[in-house]
């Protein structure tokens, strides 16, 4: 915020007259980002005629400030010459916080899907291998377990920190009957060497629908509408065949780069496309595992990384930014107290 030079001068005078003689006052007046430094900076942009008088006024204040504060006393002194503390000074306003970018995206997803009549479930972060893997069609020796670098709590007992939000698919289906429309936002864990695109703690949203006659067309429509709502604009998606043990067919979904409209830029690494999520039709074996009859009902499921969406939407290049406690990083994001 730029303040006019007159405002700065008034503030300087106020402190010279009423302020306490202290290190704080010294910093405030004479510090690197102090009032005098800022006033001199403003001076440069003024016309020559104004500059002379204001310059003089500033020099005079600077001399007085140095005279009064030059020795940087660390305790309040009693002599009458000294500045004194005025308890009637109004305090500074406390800054109001706002949501973290991960929270903003989760809220947008929840808001879209609740309008579509989905339930929101959360589940526990400590899971068993049975729910995290076995019932999702990933038996013990299955190579897909390798892709999930797991943080085990107790390997013998099969307890772990969930590697994805998919175990809640099983937990919800096992306790309810179709039709079901559910999303599961939550934190997940991987045993990862962290770098700009890998974190050992991040967030996912799992979504699934099970009812009679669900098809890939329903999946495509739902994801297209959800992503348009999250990015707040028209989007183009590309569906590629892929492999996940718990879906069949499985799809990898790419978004036409929203920063270069598919022409190629640094964000999409010149490809025009951004890998955005995995999805598919729930595997018949998974439906059987929870006691459903795959001949009667079918379902689709998708899992999306929240940080991935936030990185694309806000052009964040390092996933580790989300875990920093540095306010300068998170203060850049819009979405005041949503
Ligand atoms: Zn691009």
* Residue 331 pLDDT > 90: no
**237 C-alpha to ligand 1 centroid (Å):** 14
Characterize the bridge pairing of strands 273-282 and 298-305: antiparallel
Residue 3's pLDDT is 64
Classify 177 as helix, strand or coil.
coil
294, pLDDT greater than 60:
yes
What residues contact residue 283 under an 8 Å CB cut-off, 6+ apart? 137, 245, 246, 247, 248
- 259 Cα–ligand 1 center, Å: 5
CA of 256 to the centre of ligand 1 (A): 8
Quote the mean pLDDT of the chain. Answer: 87
Ligand 1 centroid–CA 189 distance in Å is 29
Residues 6+ away with beta carbon under 8 Å from 187? 125, 201, 202, 203
β 180-189/119-120 pair status:
parallel
The alpha carbon of 303 and the centre of ligand 1 are apart by a number of angstroms equal to 23
- Tell me, what's the pLDDT at 84? 60
Most confident range, picked from 191-200, 285-294, 325-334: 285-294
| 292 neighbors 173 (Cβ within 8 angstroms) | yes
- Cα(271)–Cα(290) distance, rounded to whole angstroms? 41
User: What pLDDT was estimated at residue 128?
Assistant: 96
How many whole angstroms separate alpha carbon 294 and alpha carbon 12?
Answer: 77
Span from the CA of 48 to the centroid of ligand 1 (angstroms) = 48
Q: What pLDDT does residue 24 have?
A: 77
Residues 6+ apart with CB under 8 A from 309: 105, 230, 276
pLDDT in tens, 23-61: 777 888 888 888 999 898 888 888 888 888 888 989 999
Provide the pLDDT confidence category of residue 1 given band limits of 50, 70 and 90.
very low
Q: What tokens does 75 get?
A: 């305790």
Tell me the CA–centroid distance for residue 196 and ligand 1, in Å: 18
Higher-confidence residue: 302 or 144?
302
- The strand order across the sheet containing 126-128 reads 126-128, 159-161, 152-154
The pLDDT value recorded for residue 43 is 87
pLDDT for the residue numbered 186: 96
Ligand 1 midpoint to CA 62 (Å): 52
Q: Where are the beta strands (DSSP E) in the chain?
A: 119-120, 126-128, 152-154, 159-161, 180-189, 201-211, 237-242, 247-256, 273-282, 298-305
- CATH H-level superfamily of 101-330: Bira Bifunctional Protein; Domain 2 (3.30.930.10)
* Per-residue burial over 83-106, b = 16 or more CB atoms within 10 Å of its CB, e = otherwise: beeeeeeeeeeeeeebbebbbbbb
pLDDT: which is higher, 84 or 48: 48
Closest CA to 201 of 292, 324, 28, 99: 324
Region label for 123, one of left (φ > 0), alpha (ψ between -120 and 50) or beta (otherwise)? left
Confidence (pLDDT) at 216: 96
d(CA 274, ligand 1 centre) in Å: 8
What's the average model confidence in pLDDT over 225-232? 94
Domain boundaries, the chain: 5-69, 101-330
Tell me what percent of the residues of the chain surpass a pLDDT of 90.
53
Per-residue pLDDT at 334: 57
First to last CA, the chain: 25
Please name the residues in contact with 167: beta carbons below 8 A apart, sequence gap of 6 or more.
123, 127, 131, 132, 135, 136
The string of pLDDT tens digits covering residues 129-161 is 999 999 999 988 887 777 778 999 998 999 999
Least confident of 5-14, 252-261, 287-296, 304-313: 5-14
- Do residues 267 and 293 lie in contact, with contact meaning Cβ atoms separated by under 8 Å? no
pLDDT of 338 strictly over 50:
no
Q: Write the DSSP string, 24-68.
A: HHHHHHHSTTSHHHHHHHHHTTS-HHHHHHHHHHHHHHHHHHHHH
Per residue in 96-136, pLDDT tens?
A: 777 888 998 999 999 999 999 999 999 999 999 999 999 99
pTM: 0.70
């Amino acid at each position: 915020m730029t303040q006019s030079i007159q405002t700065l001068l008034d503030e300087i005078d106020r402190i010279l007259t009423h302020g306490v003689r202290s290190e704080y006052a010294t910093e405030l007046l004479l510090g690197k980002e102090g009032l005098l430094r800022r006033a001199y900076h403003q001076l440069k942009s003024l016309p020559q005629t104004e500059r002379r008088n204001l310059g003089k006024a500033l020099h005079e204040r600077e001399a007085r400030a140095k005279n009064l504060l030059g020795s940087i006393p660390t305790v309040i002194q009693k002599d009458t010459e000294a500045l004194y503390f005025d308890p009637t000074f109004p305090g500074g306003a406390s800054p109001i916080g706002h949501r973290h970018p991960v929270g903003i995206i989760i809220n947008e997803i929840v808001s879209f899907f609740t309008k579509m009549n989905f339930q929101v479930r959360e589940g526990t972060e400590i899971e068993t291998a049975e729910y995290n893997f076995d019932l999702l069609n990933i038996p013990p020796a299955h190579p897909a377990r390798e892709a999930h670098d797991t943080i085990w709590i107790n390997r013998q007992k099969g307890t772990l920190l969930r590697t994805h939000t998919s175990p809640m698919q099983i937990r919800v289906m096992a306790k309810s009957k179709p039709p079901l429309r559910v999303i599961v936002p939550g934190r997940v864990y991987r045993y990862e060497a962290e770098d700009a695109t890998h974190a050992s703690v991040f967030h996912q949203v799992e979504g699934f629908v099970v009812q009679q006659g669900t098809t890939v067309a329903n999946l495509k429509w739902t994801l297209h509408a959800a992503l348009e709502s999250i990015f707040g604009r028209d989007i183009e998606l590309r569906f590629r065949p892929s492999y996940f043990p718990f879906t069949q067919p499985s799809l990898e979904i790419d978004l036409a780069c929203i920063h270069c409209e598919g022409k190629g830029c640094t964000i999409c690494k010149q490809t025009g496309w951004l890998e955005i999520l995995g999805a598919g039709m729930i595997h018949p074996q998974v439906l059987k595992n929870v006691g459903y009859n795959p001949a009667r009902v079918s379902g689709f499921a998708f899992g999306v990384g929240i940080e991935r969406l936030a990185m694309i939407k806000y052009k964040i290049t390092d996933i580790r930014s989300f875990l920093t406690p540095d306010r300068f990083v998170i203060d850049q994001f819009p979405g005041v107290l949503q």
